[in-house]
Structure 1
Amino acid sequence: MTHELLTTLRPLLTAEASAEAHASGAERGDLEQTVWLRLLERLETTGPPADPQRWVRRAVRSEARRCRRRARVEQPYAVEPADDRGSGPEQRALAAAGRRELLAAVRRLPGRCPGLVAALLSPHDLTYREIAGELGISQGNLGPERSRCLGCLRRLLTPEVAAR
């Protein structure tokens, strides 16, 4: 039942995500992936929706609205806080030491994580599409992979931060 449902909904979800992606400022693959996750969570908790096609349309539109709200609220820093040149030499030395520790921890990550996190930290501000192309992985897998890698990085850095 679940496999048939997912197979049936795939073309609809792809079409809906494609239609909503541009206006929401989100990537089509990101919208699709989020809706798939929401559907799988729903299947685990309450079972399949009564009208799956209607549920997919509403879920895509809901996620697109969430992306538009997030884009309106989130404002990028004019200057990265760690790169603020207005600070004194002590702060710059501490920031440089922090960057060195971070890069050392990134190099200790397993698998493809060092390349992925390095691309995310790149001063060139690469898009997901560029990072996925550079690493040779699908753009849809980039979010979950990023999440796993950042979780590993967090676990690596926690003992070092706690020791201070």
Structure 2
Amino acid sequence: MSGTVIAAAVDGDQDAWDTIVERFSAMVWRIARGFRLNAADAADVSQVTWLRVVEHLDALREPDALGAWIAVTARREALQLLRRRREIPVDDTMWTEAADDDAPAPGQRLLRDERNRELWDAFQRLPLRCRTVLRMLVLESPGSYAAVAAALEVPIGSLGPARGRCLDALRQELRLTEGVTR
């Protein structure tokens, strides 16, 4: 998507906005339905996704990342809808069961939590493109490479190398973190 179309949409050009919606609405719908939402819930996710786009389109720094940004937004909105609707059943027997002998010791849990914090801090320092690629391929219930390539608007053959470069960048960030903390 060109930066001029995005800039025009931000400035209130209805034709530019219609171009963006026409280009990405099917993708937003597929993502919502991919979470096995019924049509009404998928429509809600779609509507909220487009609301987020309207609210934040002017903050988009990389026009080429618009499709990926919309895809990630749709996924987040679908997950939020599922979280709001999920009821957690309470089973009273869980309080009377014996302790889990395989559970990590408190010290191990603390070390794991610290490692996870360092990982997420390093992840946040990655460029937006790498964070988007890794989220779509690894973190958020990955779909097919074809679907991810379409959402990112890149050739399918470039996803593996891009993922590899982004993981290398993440490893480098973690090495830098280790050098600072040790």
TM-score range, shorter-chain basis? 0.3 to 0.5
Q: Could you state the TM-score of these two structures normalised by the residue count of structure 2?
A: 0.37
Q: Could you state the TM-score of these two structures normalised by the residue count of structure 1?
A: 0.41
